[in-house]
Amino acid sequence: MTSKISMTVNGRQVEGSVEGRTLLVEFLREHLGLTGTHVGCDTSQCGACVVHVDGKAVKSCTLLAAAADGGDVVTIEGLADGTRLHPMQTAFKENHGLQCGFCTPGMIMSAVDLVNRHKSNGGGKLTEEKIRAELEGNICRCTGYHNIVKAIEAGAKAM
Amino acid sequence: MGMEGIGARVLRKEDQRFITGKGHYTDDFKMAGMHYAAFVRSPHAHAKIGKINKSAAEKMPGVVAVLDGKQLTGDGIGNLICGWMIHSKDGSPMNMGAWSALATEFVRYVGDGVAVVIADSPDNARTGAEAVEVDYKVLPHVTEAVVAMGSGAPQLHPEAKNNIIYDWEIGDKEAAEKAIAGSAHVTEMEIINNRLVPNPMEPRAALASYDSAQDHFTLYTTSQNPHVARLVLSAFYQVAPEHKLRVIAPDVGGGFGSKIYIYPEEIVCLWASKKTGVPVKWTSDRTEAFLADAHGRDHVTKARMGFDKDGRITGFSVDTVANLGAYMSLFSSSVPTYLYATLLSGQYNITNIHCNVRTVYTNTAPVDAYRGAGRPEATYLVERMMETAAREMGMDRAELRRKNFVTEFPHQTPVIMCYDAGDYGATLDAALKASDWAGFEKRKAAAARKGKLRGIGLSCYIEACGIAPSAAVGSLGAGVGLWESAEVRVNPVGTIEILTGSHSHGQGHETTFAQLVSERFGLPTDNVQIVHGDTDKVQFGMGTYGSRSGAVGMSAITKALDKVEAKAKKIAAHLLEADAGDIVIENGEVKVAGTDKKLGWHEVCLAAYTGHNLPAGMEPGLKEGAFYDPTNFTFPAGAYVCEVEVDPDTGKTEVVQFVAADDFGTIINPMIVEGQVHGGITQGIGQAMLEGAIYDGNGQLVTASYMDYCMPRADDVPSYQVSHHVTECPGNPLGMKGCGEAGAIGSPPALINAITDAIGNNNLTMPATPARVWAALNGK
């Protein structure tokens, strides 16, 4: 059984025909060719698949594509404004917040969401402790998180 | 030289594609007509395979083939091999059992592949695999090495009596025993080094295609060493001869050793692509990765260390049993021998060392090199012994180490290694100072006031990288040479491509290797492209593992750059009517020293390719290659201090400070080196406090997902204080030692020594979970 779905992905209206079991991450990767969003586990733990749906960070391995029907999805490919990088992307580069790059798209999408939520909750200083606690759902095996935390501190200031 | 040369914190060239989602990992590639593989894996730890009923699966939607091990061996695909021959102390060669890429008669661990289903979608392949019916006759199993050696244990391979693969020794047993017997104090410990799963964030994947018109295979794969993969696939597994097989390792999402090996899945995908006539892709899910990636560590060791009345080490005796799992993985035999026992002298001057190692088959996933590979096991043992000995003798922990440090170089240990350079006192001093070791008692008292137990621990590690002269490792049983190759191609416009046999999967080679060119010719790194990971582009290479890409890979590039520089100078000398010896190249210009005569670098390069006006007899072009074979291992070393607070009510440990003082020799890019240390320490903290692969009584891996295997997360670790103290390595042209594994090697003992200090009990096993810490604190 397939069903037709449509959604906005990175500002572009897209349509597709998916099985009921098709996950959002499969739709993005296999149907739309947006391979920047990665799958690192099968249990919603690692966060390599994080995208934004209707402005909120979502693990796209845990959402059916059909459930995102009509939604507004932003992936890592849609974060920059044309060739101008999002401040969080720049911060990851400038602070060496990535090594192999596999967790990076999900990490950046989570970081942007983290800062957005923090700001909408009144802002104030985004402490290291808070950043570390908020990154619970994103696993990185390379960096030891040290430079990711620094990158998010810098990205938050620039956002 | 310049802003981007050696020592500069150049931001990474590769980052742009990763931060914008434009990386190209194996699973991102598609081919026309591509199908997908799903493996039927054994649910039993040990069983005899009966009938395999494929008919239901073959009728499932989208399934094009269901293939099994008998078909695979019937087509002449060879067994997997271990590439390092170890002889037992009685002279007999290691007892290697057969390992077919798909099991034919027996399955020997949960996850062992039995069949593969090829279908038109990943979901259809998985559903098809679930429909394959395998009759298993379940056999008794054993998962612990010490039990597997015992009488009456289930036997895994007919070649290995009592499951023992080899019984090997190094050093002088009699001398060590005699020295220990005459010691004023003997510290005795039983140490377990816990089994880990490497867990790079990108699961393994393979995409194989067969071109029948050319009789040629292409394999995209998550490999740290594509050329080694091609060699082994060709020479041992008979998939295809090397010239008929292209192996591409594109962007690879971390390796940590686990992507060195050529696994059954790659072999099966290649074979199945020819058999079915369609490109075949397999992408591991995380649970498959836990089940079927090579695991690391898993040692049980009894050790005694003797000291004279002044605290000088007299002798060290070690007896280790290492679990190698159900089959011998590619380099598994070398890890608990030449990568482990040869480092048991630590940073210390020890005259008498003996180590016996028995490796054992068990019904568990194969065990091979994981970040550090043998050296973490050695360091953990030595540094727990030193810390415990100091406490037992009532001596200052730092002073006991200092008293025993090797201070003169070269230093020949009794276990093969000859340390070439180092200053262990300097890194110890730096770590003690940075951690305010002297002020610890105040912090401890402050912690006590809030009900916490504060402890501090030290670890002085040494390791060996840049493995090693090919002739030397050959004499020790290695089946390959351990050199590296490089080619420097200068284009007519003066830009440069470096083709390297090293492979970057997070290490930042595209940046650091370009910095060598910047240093040499004063060109911006933007003018340099690093080419790696494709056997059709790079002639040959040994890949990246054992922190070898600096000391060995960059040395090969340096040799090739030497040749390019020499030829460019000859061309410039000819054009400028000067002596080649007077030519200097800097800031992108080629000058005659002491004059205003000069050419742009690009002008010399263009002249090399136009060939209009070259010195008599010179070939046109500016492209040079080099092979570099190391003269010795390199010996990174350092001192780590860890400080913890333990909650006595719950046993929960918080790492409140971690200081690393490392000597990696020459550093090309400090930013990248620091990143390697951060990541290594975090994996070490993971081993010491969080991670452990557990097989239950049924031989099931119960830690086979991120819900069950505790990966270090951001809130498990602190920020780190990292510093470098350089003694140059005399063994290679750049003076480099290697930095990729040190963090994972030095950190576990520092952390455990801190916890045992906090709780006042030396008896604690990794991972030091709250339950274990609480039990140790309460004498349970």
- The string of DSSP codes covering chain A is -EEEEEEEETTEEEEEEEETT-BHHHIIIIIS--TTS----SSS-S-TTEEEETTEEEETTSSBGGGGTT-EEE-GGGTSBTTBPPHHHHHHHHTT--SS-SSHHHHHHHHHHHHHHHHHTT-----HHHHHHHGGG---SSSTTHHHHHHHHHHHHH-
The distance of Cα B258 from the centroid of its chain, to the nearest Å, equals 7
User: Given an 8 Å threshold on Cβ–Cβ distance, is B22 in contact with A42?
Assistant: no
Distances (CA, A) of B557 to A128, B125, B594, B665: 40, 44, 29, 18
Our CA dihedral for B334, B335, B337, B339, rounded to 10 degrees, sits at 100
Domain contains B42: yes
Question: Residue B544 is which amino acid?
Answer: T
Average pLDDT over residues B701-718: 98
Using a CB-CB distance cutoff of 8 angstroms, which residues of chain B are in contact with residue A87? none
Domain contains B4: no
User: Given an 8 Å threshold on Cβ–Cβ distance, is A94 in contact with B11?
Assistant: yes
Using a CB-CB distance cutoff of 8 angstroms, which residues of chain A are in contact with residue B714? 131-133, 135-136, 138, 140, 145, 148-149
CB-CB contact of B557 with B498 (8 Å): yes
Q: How many CB atoms lie within 10 A of CB B559?
A: 19
Closest CA to B392 of B304, B504, B507, B523: B304
At what angle are helices A87-94 and A104-120 packed, to 10 degrees? 120
User: And the tokens for B215?
Assistant: 């009789």
Domain end residue (candidates: B581, B609, B628):
B628
User: Given an 8 Å threshold on Cβ–Cβ distance, is B508 in contact with A85?
Assistant: no
Do residue B662 and residue B718 come from a single domain? Answer: yes
* Chain B, window 306-365: residues with a beta carbon less than 8 angstroms from a chain A beta carbon: none
- Euclidean distance between CA atoms B405 and B124, whole angstroms: 61
- Euclidean distance between CA atoms B708 and B693, whole angstroms: 9
Q: What DSSP element (H or E) covers B521?
A: helix B509-521
Do residue A141 and residue A74 come from a single domain? Answer: no
Do residue B454 and residue B533 come from a single domain? Answer: no
Asked if B707 is an interface residue toward chain A (Cβ–Cβ < 8 A), one would say yes
Range of the domain at A56: 2-78
Number of domains comprising chain B: 3
- Chain A residue closest in CA terms to B741: A142
* pLDDT, tens digit, 9 for 90 and up, residues B153-189: 999 999 999 999 999 999 999 999 999 999 999 999 9
Give the nearest partner residue to B672 out of A46, A96, A140, using CB atoms. Answer: A96
Using a CB-CB distance cutoff of 8 angstroms, which residues of chain A are in contact with residue B256? 141
Average pLDDT over residues B657-682: 98
pLDDT bucket at B780, cuts 50 / 70 / 90: confident
User: Given an 8 Å threshold on Cβ–Cβ distance, is A77 in contact with B18?
Assistant: no
* Chain B, window 557-596: residues with a beta carbon less than 8 angstroms from a chain A beta carbon: none
Do residue A15 and residue A73 come from a single domain? Answer: yes
Do residue A133 and residue A67 come from a single domain? Answer: no
Q: What is the CATH number of the domain that holds B564?
A: 3.30.365.10
Do residue B422 and residue B514 come from a single domain? Answer: no
Do residue B451 and residue B501 come from a single domain? Answer: no
Domain contains B149: no
Do residue B495 and residue B458 come from a single domain? Answer: no
Distances (CA, A) of A63 to A8, A32, A49, B318, B707: 16, 16, 11, 53, 18
Compute the half-sphere exposure of residue B253: CA atoms within 13 Å on the CB side of its CA.
28
Asked if B138 is an interface residue toward chain A (Cβ–Cβ < 8 A), one would say no
- CB-count burial class (<10 Å; 0-12, 13-18, 19+) for B574: middle
Domain contains B170: no
* Chain A, window 97-136: residues with a beta carbon less than 8 angstroms from a chain B beta carbon: 98-105, 108, 128-129, 131-133, 135-136
Do residue A100 and residue A118 come from a single domain? Answer: yes
Asked if A148 is an interface residue toward chain B (Cβ–Cβ < 8 A), one would say yes
Do residue B642 and residue B707 come from a single domain? Answer: yes
Asked if B549 is an interface residue toward chain A (Cβ–Cβ < 8 A), one would say no
The distance of Cα A81 from the centroid of its chain, to the nearest Å, equals 16
Number of domains comprising chain A: 2
Per-residue confidence (pLDDT) for residue B666, from 0 to 100: 98
Tokens 């002269």 — which residue? B469
Q: Which of A59, A94, A141, A143 should we substitute to test contact with B (largest number of B Cβ atoms within 10 Å)?
A: A141
Using a CB-CB distance cutoff of 8 angstroms, which residues of chain B are in contact with residue A103? 201, 253
Query: Which residues are CB-contacts of B343 (< 8 A; sequence separation ≥ 6)?
Result: B374, B375, B378, B379, B382, B415, B417, B462, B463, B464
Do residue A103 and residue A69 come from a single domain? Answer: no
Give the nearest partner residue to B15 out of A40, A98, A144, using CB atoms. Answer: A98
Asked if B507 is an interface residue toward chain A (Cβ–Cβ < 8 A), one would say yes
Domain end residue (candidates: A28, A57, A78):
A78
- CB-count burial class (<10 Å; 0-12, 13-18, 19+) for B704: buried
* pLDDT, tens digit, 9 for 90 and up, residues B625-662: 999 999 999 999 999 999 999 999 999 999 999 999 99
User: Given an 8 Å threshold on Cβ–Cβ distance, is B675 in contact with A19?
Assistant: no
Give the nearest partner residue to B679 out of A37, A132, A143, using CB atoms. Answer: A143
Do residue B509 and residue B604 come from a single domain? Answer: yes
- How many CB pairs below 8 A link A and B? 177
Do residue A73 and residue A92 come from a single domain? Answer: no
Distances (CA, A) of B186 to A91, B100, B386: 53, 47, 11
User: And the tokens for B570?
Assistant: 């000859």
User: Given an 8 Å threshold on Cβ–Cβ distance, is B20 in contact with A148?
Assistant: no
Ranked by mean pLDDT, the top range of A115-124, B115-124, B479-488 is B115-124
Do residue B623 and residue B644 come from a single domain? Answer: no
Do residue A58 and residue A112 come from a single domain? Answer: no
* pLDDT over 60 at B751, yes or no: yes
Backbone angles phi, psi at B745, to 5 degrees: -85, -45
Q: What is the CATH number of the domain that holds A31?
A: 3.10.20.30
Per-residue confidence (pLDDT) for residue B2, from 0 to 100: 58
Per-residue confidence (pLDDT) for residue B515, from 0 to 100: 98
Q: What is the CATH number of the domain that holds B119?
A: 3.90.1170.50
Query: Which residues are CB-contacts of B439 (< 8 A; sequence separation ≥ 6)?
Result: none
Q: B34 — alpha (psi -120 to 50), left (phi > 0) or beta?
A: beta
Domain contains B413: yes
End-to-end CA distance of chain B: 60
* pLDDT over 60 at B114, yes or no: yes
Range of the domain at B640: 375-466+633-777
Report the gap between the CA of B324 and the closest CA in chain A (Å).
24
Do residue B654 and residue B592 come from a single domain? Answer: no
Q: What angle do CA B653, B658, B662 make, to 5 degrees?
A: 145
- Euclidean distance between CA atoms B753 and B778, whole angstroms: 17
Give the pTM: 0.98
- Euclidean distance between CA atoms B319 and B502, whole angstroms: 35
Per-residue confidence (pLDDT) for residue B684, from 0 to 100: 98
Compute the half-sphere exposure of residue B54: CA atoms within 13 Å on the CB side of its CA.
15
Question: Residue B481 is which amino acid?
Answer: G
Asked if B293 is an interface residue toward chain A (Cβ–Cβ < 8 A), one would say no
Report the gap between the CA of B41 and the closest CA in chain A (Å).
18
Distances (CA, A) of A14 to A25, A69, A79: 15, 10, 17
Domain contains B691: yes
User: Given an 8 Å threshold on Cβ–Cβ distance, is A100 in contact with B12?
Assistant: no
Q: B594 — alpha (psi -120 to 50), left (phi > 0) or beta?
A: left
Query: Which residues are CB-contacts of B612 (< 8 A; sequence separation ≥ 6)?
Result: none
* pLDDT, tens digit, 9 for 90 and up, residues B567-605: 999 999 999 999 999 999 999 999 999 999 999 999 999
Per-residue confidence (pLDDT) for residue B469, from 0 to 100: 86
Tokens 């046109």 — which residue? B620
Domain contains B319: no
User: Given an 8 Å threshold on Cβ–Cβ distance, is B12 in contact with A142?
Assistant: no
Do residue A74 and residue A123 come from a single domain? Answer: no
- Euclidean distance between CA atoms A58 and B422, whole angstroms: 50
Do residue A59 and residue A7 come from a single domain? Answer: yes
* pLDDT, tens digit, 9 for 90 and up, residues A48-70: 999 999 999 999 999 999 999 99
* pLDDT over 70 at A44, yes or no: yes
Do residue B554 and residue B454 come from a single domain? Answer: no
Do residue B608 and residue B666 come from a single domain? Answer: no
Domain end residue (candidates: A53, A78, A103):
A78
The distance of Cα B495 from the centroid of its chain, to the nearest Å, equals 33
Domain contains B358: no
Asked if B286 is an interface residue toward chain A (Cβ–Cβ < 8 A), one would say yes
CB-CB contact of A65 with A17 (8 Å): no
Average pLDDT over residues B403-423: 97
Q: What is the CATH number of the domain that holds A147?
A: 1.10.150.120
Average pLDDT over residues A1-23: 95
- Chain B residue closest in CA terms to A23: B123
3-class secondary structure per residue, B403-438: HHECCCCCEECCCCCEECCCCHHHHHHHHHHHCCHH
Do residue A7 and residue A71 come from a single domain? Answer: yes
Asked if A147 is an interface residue toward chain B (Cβ–Cβ < 8 A), one would say yes
Do residue B640 and residue B768 come from a single domain? Answer: yes
Report the gap between the CA of A38 and the closest CA in chain B (Å).
8
User: Given an 8 Å threshold on Cβ–Cβ distance, is B20 in contact with A76?
Assistant: yes
What string of DSSP letters covers B174-190? HHHHHHHHT-SEEEEEE
Query: Which residues are CB-contacts of B603 (< 8 A; sequence separation ≥ 6)?
Result: B575, B590
**Please, which residues bridge with residue B465 across strands?**
B634
Q: Which of A93, A98, A100 should we substitute to test contact with B (largest number of B Cβ atoms within 10 Å)?
A: A100
Q: How many CB atoms lie within 10 A of CB B52?
A: 17
Rg (CA), chain A: 15
Per-residue confidence (pLDDT) for residue B468, from 0 to 100: 75
Give the nearest partner residue to A89 out of B12, B19, B719, using CB atoms. Answer: B19
CB-CB contact of B527 with B495 (8 Å): yes
Average pLDDT over residues A92-118: 98
Give the nearest partner residue to A102 out of B25, B286, B719, using CB atoms. Answer: B25
Compute the half-sphere exposure of residue B255: CA atoms within 13 Å on the CB side of its CA.
32
* pLDDT, tens digit, 9 for 90 and up, residues B511-536: 999 999 999 999 999 999 999 999 99
